[in-house]
Amino acid sequence: MKKEEIKHIANIAMLDFTEEELDQFSGFFSETMDFVDQIRQVPTEDTMVFQVNDMESHLREDEVKESLGQDQATKNTQAEKYGYFEIIRYVD
């Protein structure tokens, strides 16, 4: 990954890095992305998933419930505008 790409991502995330840190991240990101590409190439179409112990799933069943209203959803936000969350505007 190029330094400019890392700077761009850091800028979006509002992070500041030194040039030395950027050089370090460049290598780390490249290694990580290479590893992800290797994983993507593994054929998984016929893979079965199972548990090796007798534990049951602790996930609850999906239930349809009434959602929050706009007032309830935004009542604890730091910044609200026109009934919505006010966020930092980012346009590439």
Mean pLDDT rounded to a whole number for the chain? 85
pLDDT of 11 reads 87
Residue 58 lies in a domain: no
Question: What would the pLDDT profile of 28-58 be if each residue is shown by its tens digit?
Answer: 888 888 999 999 999 988 888 777 777 777 7
Residue 25 lies in a domain: yes
Domain, as residue range, for 32? 1-44
Residue 38 lies in a domain: yes
Is pTM beyond 0.75 here? no
Residue 21 lies in a domain: yes
Residue 3 lies in a domain: yes
Residue 8 lies in a domain: yes
Helix boundaries (H) for 1-92: 3-12, 19-40, 70-74
Q: Is the pLDDT of residue 90 over 70?
A: yes
Looking up residue 2, the CATH number of its domain turns out to be 1.10.20
Question: What would the pLDDT profile of 75-84 be if each residue is shown by its tens digit?
Answer: 888 888 888 8
* Residue 3 neighbours by CB under 8 Å, 6+ apart: 22, 23, 26
Residue 59 lies in a domain: no
Number of domains in the chain: 1
Core vs surface per residue 25-54: b (16+ CB within 10 A) or e: beeeeeeeeeeeeeeeeeeeeeeeeeeeee
